[in-house]
Amino acid sequence: MTARRSLDDLTHGAADWAGLKVVVTGLGVSGFAAADALLERDAKVTVLDAGTGRQHQEEQAQILRVLDADVRLGAEHVSDLPADLADADLVVTSPGWRPDHPVLTAAAGLGIPVWGEVELAWRMRPQEGAAPWLTVTGTNGKTTTVQMLAAILTAAGLRATAAGNVGTPILEAVLHPEPYAVIAVELSSFQLHWSESIAPVASCCLNVAPDHVDWHGSLEEYTAAKGKVYEHTELACIYNVQDPVTEQLVRDADVQEGCRAVGFTLGTPGLSMVGLVEDVLADRAFIEERRSSAAELATLADLTRDGVPPAPHLVADALAAAALARAVGVPVAAVRDGLRGFEPDQHRITDVGEVAGVRFVNDSKATNPHAAAASLTAFEHIVWVAGGQLKGADVDGLVAGARDRLRAVVLLGQDREQIAAALTRHAPEVPVVRVSAADTGDMGRDGQQTRGTAEALAAVMDEVVDRALGLARPGDVVLLAPAAASLDMWPNYGARGTDFTGAVARRRDRGETS
């Protein structure tokens, strides 16, 4: 076996990546992005994935093969590390691969370094002038916080984006031909597990609750992974005063000299905190006179939408986003303007909570197959909630392209059988559950379309959520992306999404959260 190459010099995109022998595990969104970036730098790339014979995956595999990658699809390639790859210099793994996967444990046993795609992205930043990262993790609220943060940064006149676990692969943001001034990075515990050298300018863990224990092996390991968000932070570690675990993670982190701990709280802020003073979001951390006064960042009215005051978790997310932005010198006015202009995407790929380690996402606005396809490609393991009025649309291409991501499907609505037929043709191995016509009330006795009562429709979504949760595994996403209009049952897609969100909330309120 030849000597394994040192990775110490691979600290920027212009480093000598040529000839590096890399195994990429998983041909999902992050795996494809990693393989593509490595091939562009003349690395020798082998991609391993258990999938086979599925259209979307085969298309991605063919693209990589044209670029001279060795792509191996099929379960026989992932039962262990292939013998001819035992001298690999590096493994880059996708978030869906658990640390105890046979390929990864074999690599570790041979002393092959394992990186996640976020670690790879950090090491591929420009050698000079790289955009600073503001990193966010937590069991809940990550996406809203990074989106708020991006809005604040943009209001400050900075070219900024939200990337990472939020949807846009971080490699795409780092390698964008028009460089960003700053990047708001959402990081999952899976991504953090494989990170080692990321050094954000400011970082935040919003909260820690039991989650993904099956992936990490224990709650302690999950918590430790969340704590890695603070490692090597340069200026400020933002923690949740109401969640002492996050403060302890800051205390335990190895940060850069001069880095500060800054708390956010829904109560009155103490010194070196941001918090609430009556209805004012106040800063006692990033002003010179913080010992005796506070600066007004925004008010609760700036977060109020359609006359509805913000929920406490939304205020907490806003305070965390504000603290991160203030850490890099964003002025008070930009915080206010960013939060005032921020519009949560209530029915477009919106996280609506987690139950038993399963993430629920509302994309009720996906009222046609094209929109649903965009949503389905955003996640790797999905229980898909679909159905309604297809309006004559063909769903065969949608199903064929998504089948490698589908854990199961829950169907409802007028044209559910058309989707079921497409699943039979293109994804016969995927379990399908139908919410019956008797439960939906989607057709009246005279054959005319009729919408259900509010109570009946809420009950429908309660059943949908229960059935989907029964089919999902921890770490999966239950995705409402109907590919169809809602008018057979609901007055509009917004009402459908609201009922879905309400059903998730009711399930959480029954004490079945992760």
Cβ atoms of 195 and 221 within 8 Å: the answer is no
Give the three-state DSSP class for 273.
strand
CB atoms closer than 10 angstroms to residue 63? 15
Question: Are the C-beta atoms of 264 and 273 separated by less than 8 Å?
Answer: yes
Q: What is the largest CA-CA distance in the chain?
A: 77
Q: State the first-to-last Cα distance of the chain, in angstroms, to the nearest integer.
A: 45
141 is annotated as contributing to ligand binding: yes
Annotated binding-site residue? 137: no
d(CA 304, CA 340): 8
Where does residue 351 fall: left (phi above 0), alpha (psi -120 to 50 degrees), or beta otherwise?
beta
Q: In this structure, is the dihedral angle defined by the CA atoms of residues 63, 65, 477 and 305, taken in order, positive or negative?
A: negative
Environment class of 61 (CB within 10 Å of its CB; exposed 0-12, middle 13-18, buried 19+): buried
Distance CA 80, CA 103 (A): 5
User: How big is the chain by its Cα radius of gyration, in Å?
Assistant: 24
Coil, strand or helix at 469: helix
DSSP string computed for 103-168? HHHHHHHTT--EEEHHHHHHHTS-SSSPPPEEEEE-SS-HHHHHHHHHHHHHHTT--EEEEETTSS
Residue the block writes with tokens 């956010």: 264
Annotated ligand binding at 165? The verdict is no
Q: Is 140 annotated as a binding residue?
A: yes
Q: CB atoms < 10 A from the CB of 3, how many?
A: 7
- Whole-angstrom distance, CA of residue 309 vs CA of residue 283: 21
Q: Is 365 within any annotated ligand binding site?
A: no
Give the total residue count for the chain: 514
- Cα–Cα distance, 512 to 510 (Å, whole number): 6
Q: Supply 171's token pair.
A: 């490699």
CA 503 – CA 467 distance, rounded (Å):
12
Enter the tokens of residue 146. 């990074």
Known binding-site residue numbers: 138-144
Known binding-site residue numbers for ATP: 138-144
